[in-house]
Amino acid sequence: MTKQLQKRILIMALLAGELMMKSGAEIYRVEDTITRICKACKIPYVEAFATPTGIFLSLDKGGEDNEMFTFIKRIRGSATDLGKISEINQFSRDFVSTDLSVEDGMARLKQISKRKPYPLGIKLLGAALTCAFFCLMFKGTIQDFVCAFIIGAASYLLSAIFDGFETNYFIKGFCCTAFAAFLALICAASGLGNTSGPTTIGALMLFVPGVAITNAIRDFLAGDMLSGLARTSEAFFIAISLATGAGVVMRLWVLMGGTIL
84 touching other proteins, by CB under 8 A: yes
Could you give the CA distance from residue 66 to residue 175 in angstroms, rounded to a whole number?
A: 54
Question: Could you say which DSSP state residue 67 is in?
Answer: P
Could you give the CA distance from residue 15 to residue 36 in angstroms, rounded to a whole number?
A: 14
**Which phi and psi angles does 98 have, rounded to 5°?**
-110, 165
82 touching other proteins, by CB under 8 A: yes
H-run or E-run covering 201: helix 197-207
Give, as ranges, the residues between 219 and 238 that touch other proteins (CB under 8 A). 221
H-run or E-run covering 56: strand 54-60
H-run or E-run covering 47: strand 45-51
Binding segment (CB under 8 A) for other proteins, from list 69-77, 95-103, 128-136, 187-195: 128-136
Give, as ranges, the residues between 141 and 200 that touch other proteins (CB under 8 A). 156, 197, 200
208 burial type by CB count under 10 A (0-12 exposed, 13-18 middle, 19+ buried):
middle
Residue 62 or 210 having the CB closest to other proteins: 210
Residue 57 or 145 having the CB closest to other proteins: 145
201 touching other proteins, by CB under 8 A: yes
Are 50 and 39 in contact by the 8 Å Cβ rule? The answer is no
Contact letters for other proteins, residues 94-123 (x by CB under 8 A):
-----------------------xx---xx
Residue 38: CB minimum distance to other proteins, A: 20
Question: Rule CB under 8 A: which residues touch other proteins?
Answer: 24-26, 29, 80-86, 89, 117-118, 122-123, 125-131, 133-134, 136-138, 156, 197, 200-201, 204-206, 208-211, 213-214, 216-218, 221, 239, 242-243, 246-247, 250-251, 254, 260
